[in-house]
Amino acid sequence: MAKNTLGPDKILQLGFAFWGAKTLLSAVELGLFTYLAAGPKDLKTISKKFDLHSRSNADFVDALVALGMLKKTAGKYANSPESDLFLDKKKPTYVGGILEMANQRLYPFWGTLTEALHTGKPQNEAKTGGDFFGAIYADPKILKLFLKSMTGLSMGAAVAIAQKFPWKDYKTFIDIGTAQGGLPVQVALANKHLTGGGYDLPVVAPVFNDYVKSFKLQNRLKFYPGSFLTDPLPTADVLVMGHILHDWNMAEKEMLIAKAYDALPKGGALVVFEAIIDDARSQNAFGLLMSLNMLIETPGGFDYTGADCQKWMKAAGFKKTRVEHLIGPDSMVIGIK
Amino acid sequence: MAKNTLGPDKILQLGFAFWGAKTLLSAVELGLFTYLAAGPKDLKTISKKFDLHSRSNADFVDALVALGMLKKTAGKYANSPESDLFLDKKKPTYVGGILEMANQRLYPFWGTLTEALHTGKPQNEAKTGGDFFGAIYADPKILKLFLKSMTGLSMGAAVAIAQKFPWKDYKTFIDIGTAQGGLPVQVALANKHLTGGGYDLPVVAPVFNDYVKSFKLQNRLKFYPGSFLTDPLPTADVLVMGHILHDWNMAEKEMLIAKAYDALPKGGALVVFEAIIDDARSQNAFGLLMSLNMLIETPGGFDYTGADCQKWMKAAGFKKTRVEHLIGPDSMVIGIK
């Protein structure tokens, strides 16, 4: 051992990574970044505002500095450029909803991952009799948190799709399972010639309309109510499904792709995006962990590779398919009818 | 937003870092790396051995590949060089004890970090009436897990100290709060002229003696029983304290440093090591998070900077002090009497 150059450092960093995660999640829960968006504050002011104990306050904010989420200058703490843009609740670019959900729900649910590995069963509200989407859609407060959280999860990819997809070749688009409308807003902002909107359960309408209105896009983006499990999909030149397919089992995935095919005109495109796993299933850790998150959260959902999705699209009748990387762990799979 | 080059990716990776951590912790809990140390196995064999559900098995092991903990070749899964050396329970280099403890105890306890930030109170067994060390030392099974886990936490630093400290200038050393004896073993292996041992509560003796014997070092390393809270410390040319000072409050820290000063001969050295925080408290995230872990685990413990520790040593009478980086987040602070 003493002569060996291998060290346990990488293993320990990974095994204790929940410390840094939970520290960020608690900061989001408290609203620290929203508060600091107004300007830098010293430790005393922050501690008073959030009722932080003198034993923990300095370690907490200094850890956030070391994790790159805050900056410390002359004794005052300020948001980093990223945390200011993405973790200030007052900005439309807020992605903290998904972290609020991770803090309240996913962190404790993942505590019983080992049980899920043995049983193949969800570890969330379903464990005590509910079902995931049922539990979420039944409570307006949880629903709003969930819908906002989806915007956070999709923000980076939505911006990339708005830029990378050849939108100039199309006139209309509808985002299937749109939640708050994060994707349509980014696409519409970057492509002024497009009209379209978002499709989701009727209960989602007010949350979508509020969000779209906050960008003054209500004249170009409409809400399309419906259930993709029981209804046909609405028609547009381009249909988008982001973080939708991974929620469902194989038969449901095939059904959703078939419905998209039916709804598209000839030459229309289906754009599927999420943390698409690399074909060798050995590189995209976030995509593989997201699939384990589907184990924790759903009865049959799973994430998949680009090759998987292209195969399903071809089986549904799509003529051409391709995979294109977006940002970080996210890619899009495009099928042309 | 669409024109901005800032992305939320780094924030989301940090906020969801508990997924990767918990996946590794579950693999350690199952004993996957110990099993694979015997040779590569395919998915079916692994799934049967550990009763992994068909829904979760591939995502689980492929995520471990993507996280760098396993390698996949021709459909078979094998340990990475690091996981083989440090996560195989049958090897004396096993560091998984600390991860077993993190999985069983720390992961759920950190779930109420926000409460700890407000109250300054521990979130562990102490919350239901016990005290941390009391709870651990009262149960032989938990004690052994804890003592082994300390070896894991100290392994990298112990190897670095064995090489970097000028041991040739000294003949004897005792590790204060030695637990299983991880530090003395590494120091003795790399420095054949040294004799000494480890000091800890009497109940620790059999665990220490077993571990030392497994390296055939029982002729050079002895167990010194005692309590550093109530007894004077034993005498040696060098006294070492690794992951000890951070467990205690300011008055207790000063008392321990004073006892070390009293026990050392003139010219003797006190070597303090752990995840020493950088003086600006803005770089060593692991050290700052470890200090929050002391909040979760102890009534008054906290981590500290090299400047803090040198100041305390000088106040206790030490003539010369210096800080030297060891490995990863760990440094040592040396005081010469």
Residue of A nearest to B294 (CA): A56
Which chain A residues have a beta carbon less than 8 Å from that of B301? none
User: Could you tell me whether strands B172-176 and B195-200 are parallel, antiparallel, or unpaired per DSSP bridges?
Assistant: parallel
The amino acid at B196:
G
Tens digits of residue pLDDT in B176-220:
999 999 999 999 999 999 999 999 999 999 999 999 999 999 999
User: Could you tell me whether strands B269-274 and B330-336 are parallel, antiparallel, or unpaired per DSSP bridges?
Assistant: antiparallel
Residue B246, SS3? Answer: helix
Taking an 8 Å cut-off on Cβ atoms, the answer to whether B51 and A118 are in contact is: yes
Taking an 8 Å cut-off on Cβ atoms, the answer to whether B328 and A72 are in contact is: no
Which chain B residues have a beta carbon less than 8 Å from that of A93? 1
pLDDT (average), residues A308-324: 98
Residue A33's closest CA among A83, A68, A96, A101?
A: A83
Rounded-to-integer distance, Cα A95 and Cα A329, Å: 16
Residue B178, SS3? Answer: coil
* Per-residue confidence band for A149, with pLDDT thresholds at 50, 70 and 90: confident
* Per-residue confidence band for A311, with pLDDT thresholds at 50, 70 and 90: very high
Please report the sign of the dihedral spanned by the C-alpha atoms of residue B212, residue B218, residue B222, residue B227: positive
Q: Which helix (H) or strand (E) holds B204?
A: none
Q: In this model, does residue A216 exceed pLDDT 50?
A: yes
What are A95's two structure tokens?
A: 């992605």
Out of B18, B119, B328, closest to residue A21 by CB: B18
Burial of A195 (0-12, 13-18, 19+ CB in 10 A): middle
Q: In this model, does residue B145 exceed pLDDT 60?
A: yes
Residue B192's closest CA among B167, B209, B215?
A: B167
Taking an 8 Å cut-off on Cβ atoms, the answer to whether B288 and A53 are in contact is: no
- Out of A23-32, B86-95, B136-145, the most confident range is A23-32
Q: Which residues contact B290 (CB under 8 A, 6 or more apart)?
A: A19, B246, B274, B275, B303, B329
Test the A interface: residue of B22, B32, B211, B243 with most A CBs within 10 Å: B22
Which chain B residues have a beta carbon less than 8 Å from that of A66? 281-285, 288
Rounded-to-integer distance, Cα B226 and Cα B208, Å: 14
What per-residue confidence (pLDDT) applies to B1?
A: 39
Residue of A nearest to B330 (CA): A9
Residue of A nearest to B163 (CA): A2
Rounded-to-integer distance, Cα A220 and Cα A241, Å: 19
Out of A7, A21, A26, closest to residue B156 by CB: A7
CA distances from B42 to A308, B70, B177, B305 (A): 21, 12, 43, 47
CA distances from A190 to A183, A216, A331 (A): 11, 14, 19
Residue of A nearest to B281 (CA): A62
10 Å Cβ neighbour count for B251? 9
What per-residue confidence (pLDDT) applies to A2?
A: 40
Out of A30, A116, A283, closest to residue B66 by CB: A283
Tens digits of residue pLDDT in A194-204:
999 999 999 99
Rounded-to-integer distance, Cα B146 and Cα B162, Å: 23
Q: Rounded to a whole number, what is the distance in Å from the CA of B333 to chain A's nearest CA?
A: 20
Q: How many residues are there in chain B?
A: 337
SS3 string, A243-254, reads CCHHHCCHHHHH
Tens digits of residue pLDDT in B264-282:
999 999 999 999 999 999 9
Q: Rounded to a whole number, what is the distance in Å from the CA of B162 to chain A's nearest CA?
A: 8
Catalytic one of B118, B193, B243, B246: B246
pTM equals 0.93
Taking an 8 Å cut-off on Cβ atoms, the answer to whether B53 and A300 are in contact is: no
pLDDT (average), residues B92-119: 93
Which chain B residues have a beta carbon less than 8 Å from that of A286? 13, 16
Q: What interhelical angle do B140-164 and B205-214 show, nearest 10? A: 50
Q: Rounded to a whole number, what is the distance in Å from the CA of B65 to chain A's nearest CA?
A: 6
Q: In this model, does residue B241 exceed pLDDT 80?
A: yes
Question: Would residue A253 be called left, alpha or beta, if left means φ above 0 and alpha means ψ between -120 and 50 degrees?
Answer: alpha
Taking an 8 Å cut-off on Cβ atoms, the answer to whether B14 and A65 are in contact is: no
User: What is the ipTM, given to two decimal places?
Assistant: 0.93
Report the catalytic residues of A.
246
Q: In this model, does residue B329 exceed pLDDT 90?
A: yes
Q: Rounded to a whole number, what is the distance in Å from the CA of B318 to chain A's nearest CA?
A: 28
10 Å Cβ neighbour count for A276? 28
Q: How many CB pairs under 8 A join A and B?
A: 301
Which chain B residues have a beta carbon less than 8 Å from that of A72? 280-282
Rounded-to-integer distance, Cα A325 and Cα A312, Å: 19
Q: Rounded to a whole number, what is the distance in Å from the CA of A21 to chain B's nearest CA?
A: 5
Taking an 8 Å cut-off on Cβ atoms, the answer to whether B1 and A93 are in contact is: yes
Rounded-to-integer distance, Cα A333 and Cα A307, Å: 9
Q: Rounded to a whole number, what is the distance in Å from the CA of B188 to chain A's nearest CA?
A: 10
Rounded-to-integer distance, Cα B210 and Cα B34, Å: 20
Out of B18, B113, B189, closest to residue A110 by CB: B18
Residue A317's closest CA among A272, A262, A250?
A: A262
Which chain A residues have a beta carbon less than 8 Å from that of B51? 118
* Per-residue confidence band for A5, with pLDDT thresholds at 50, 70 and 90: low
Rounded-to-integer distance, Cα B69 and Cα B156, Å: 18
CB B91 within 8 A of CB B85: yes
